[in-house]
Amino acid sequence: MTDVAIVGANGYSGEELCSLLARHGGVRIAGVTSRQHAGKPVGSILPRLKGHPAIRDLAFSNATADDVIKTGAKYAFLALPHGLAAEFALPLLNAGLKIVDLSADFRLREADVFQEFYGEAHAAPELLAHAAYGIPEIWREKIKAATLVASAGCYPTSILLPLVPLLRAGQIVTDSIAVSSASGVSGAGRKADVAYLYAECNESLRAYGLPKHRHLSEIEQELTFAAGEKVVITFVPHLAPMTRGIHTTTFAKPKEGVSLAAIKETLTQAYANEPFVRFGDTLPDTKNVVGTNYCDIAARLDERTGRLILLSAEDNLVKGAAGQAVQCFNLMAGFPETQGLL
């Protein structure tokens, strides 16, 4: 059994991590931290996990790097707000732990881009070059060799999985991309905020964070890597009246002479052997992916406008967060990639 620690486990992503790792079969949860709930039994704060054999004897410890190191864990999952994860990373790495970070702290290659989009200086810029970007379907070999993995964001995952194979194949015009996404309210995190109260979100669909949502930074970074040239897109996220799930619609222009059949063939080949990406003709629906680590993708061509329409759906807390983090961990630790996720 491999010992792991979960730092910041009282949020939605942290709770999902606890659930996935509790039934993983190859790990022991050696420690779970929460500054807010230190000393309390995990099951008392996360009642859906109460009584689980892997959880019932665990209590939250204080969220410090020393506390995590004392657990004896070999791997640490950081489920913290951006800015905090970077404070943990260096001491944990120096102590020999490997890290899967669910925050945004290590997703960007450049500290000045982090400051531009997140409004603060990066706490550990020297580590940025050492972090692997955590989408296994795109960066599998880098993740396997990494000691620090930055698990990709929820919106970026739903956008990059359809687009990266097409950009690598040179099949779409790079300055033609526009994206509209809708996310469940859990994407905002577990916090008391008037904007996310039931009465505010129910029967309401609203855009937010435009024109420069924070996730735009990592989306454009990864699209640029895939295309081999600078890619700038329009991205409009929406808050949808549902608890979890993301549905993304991406618009792009195929290059001259590139048919829908060629687009579909590229995506089919890219994901034919991927256990968690399902490309097909059925239009993605969030109800078919919620609670799973799948991302469903489909493609259509508007013959009237010549515009390509890519559609994708995922669970923002699983493939968009905890599930993807476990998938990355499996690669790092030498487990089957699907362990604990099917």
Q: Tell me which amino acid residue 151 is.
A: S
Report how far residue 159's alpha carbon sits from residue 246's, in angstroms, rounded to the nearest whole number: 10
Helices (H) and strands (E) in the chain, counts: 11, 14
**Which phi and psi (to 5°) does residue 18 adopt?**
-55, -45
The enclosing H or E element of 134 equals strand 132-134
Exposure letters 311-339 (e unless 16+ CB within 10 A, then b)? bbbbbbbbbbbbbbbbbbbbbbbebebeb
**Which phi and psi (to 5°) does residue 193 adopt?**
-145, 130
DSSP readout, 193-241? -GGGSHHHHTT--EE-S-S--TTHHHHHHHHHHHHTS----EEEEEE-S
Report how far residue 187's alpha carbon sits from residue 13's, in angstroms, rounded to the nearest whole number: 9
**Nearest one of 99, 38, 57, 52 to 74, comparing CA atoms:** 99
Cβ burial, residue 256 (10 Å; 0-12/13-18/19+): exposed
Residues with a known catalytic role: 154
Those residues with Cβ within 8 angstroms of residue 65's Cβ, 6 or more apart along the chain or in another chain: 87, 88, 91, 92, 95
Report how far residue 26's alpha carbon sits from residue 3's, in angstroms, rounded to the nearest whole number: 9
Q: Which two tokens stand for residue 287?
A: 């109800």
